[in-house]
Structure 1
Amino acid sequence: MHLNRTDSELLNLLIKDGRMSYADIARKLGISRAHARTRVQALVESGVIEQFTAVINPDKLGKGISTFVDLTVAPSAIEHIAEELSGCVEVVSLYIMSDLKSLHIHTLTDNYDAFDTFVRERIFNRDEILSVDCKSLMTRVKHRRGGARL
């Protein structure tokens, strides 16, 4: 789907506030409320907008340990491992990378003991996981809260 200027501006508004009303969108874009509703519905139906969601502050939930884990996995097992790990509550995002043998994982845990338990139960001592590289977040400088800007 090709986005026109109105659609791009509309998406940027929804990225900042997914609960913005059609009336507020219309006012900001200088279009009618009905047109705003029609454009949002078209973007949903075309799959450009996959879902509306809340952005949670992990620190407010006591999830202060943010860790990035890169795994090298036997290619024959990558989909199985990715599916299994994506179901873990500690995993907030998981990507299969272009080399088709690497997983990039972001985890959030209450503390380092909880992270240690996660890696011992889910990652260590598995023959199909060939290597592990792990780094904990120190400081957020720029992050995706509100999503990408178009």
Structure 2
Amino acid sequence: MDLDNLDWKLLSLLQKDCRISNADLALAVGLSASSCWRRVRALEDAGLIRRYAAQLDPARAGMGFQAIVHVQLTRHDPEKLAEFIRVIDTRPEVVECFATTGQADYHLRVIVRDLETYNQFLETVLFRLSAVASAQTNVILRSVKSYQGIGSQV
């Protein structure tokens, strides 16, 4: 789907506030309510809008420990890799996982209640996976900028 400036404006506004009413969204981009609804529906149908969600404050939710975990795998054995991905995908404390180039094979963003809970995650989950050779932890001291959506083209 080719996006025009109007599509990017709609996407930008929805990423800032997905609870914006269709009427307010239409007014903000200069469309009629019905035209706006059709455009948003087309973006959803094309898979550009995957879902709508609430962004929580981890600290206020009692999750005071965040870390980036750099994981190196032993080998890229297909079965071990599939197990690693399956387990990581099911773990609620892993909020993001990226396969990357560089020294580490995967980078995980982990959010838990405290250091003890994080250590329990390492010992009972991550280090029990046969694909994992090592993991290095960088504790997140503070968030400077968190995910705000994809960049705008306008």
Match in the other structure for 2:76: 75
Which 5+ residue runs of structure 1 have no aligned equivalent? Answer: none
Q: How many Å separate the matches in 2 of 1:5 and 1:142?
A: 25
Instruction: Report runs of 4+ in structure 1 exceeding 6 Å deviation.
Output: none
The DSSP-based 3-state class of the residue aligned with 1:75 is: coil
Deviation digits for residues 48-94 of structure 1 (CA, Å, limit 9, x no counterpart): 11111111111111001011111111211223202112211211111
The DSSP-based 3-state class of the residue aligned with 2:35 is: helix
Q: What TM-score, normalized by structure 2, do the two folds share? A: 0.90
Quote the offset at 1:141 in angstroms.
Answer: 1.0
1:139 aligns with 2:139: no
Given that 2:93 and 2:111 are in contact with CA atoms closer than 8 Å, whether structure 1 keeps it comes out as yes
Quote the offset at 1:13 in angstroms.
Answer: 0.2
Alignment root-mean-square deviation, CA = 1.5
Match in the other structure for 1:149: 151
Amino acid in structure 2 at the alignment position of 1:62: G
1:93 aligns with 2:105: no
Match in the other structure for 2:12: 12
Q: How many Å separate the matches in 1 of 2:146 and 2:133?
A: 30
Q: What TM-score, normalized by structure 1, do the two folds share? A: 0.92
Quote the offset at 1:148 in angstroms.
Answer: 2.5
Amino acid in structure 2 at the alignment position of 1:103: Y
Deviation digits for residues 83-132 of structure 1 (CA, Å, limit 9, x no counterpart): 11221121111122257x71211111100000000001112254421121
Number of residue-to-residue matches in the alignment:
148
For residue 110 of structure 1, the aligned residue among 113, 117, 131 is 113
Which 5+ residue runs of structure 2 have no aligned equivalent? Answer: none
Q: How many Å separate the matches in 1 of 2:11 and 2:128?
A: 44
**Shift in alpha-carbon separation, 1:34–1:102, aligned structure 2, 3 A:** same
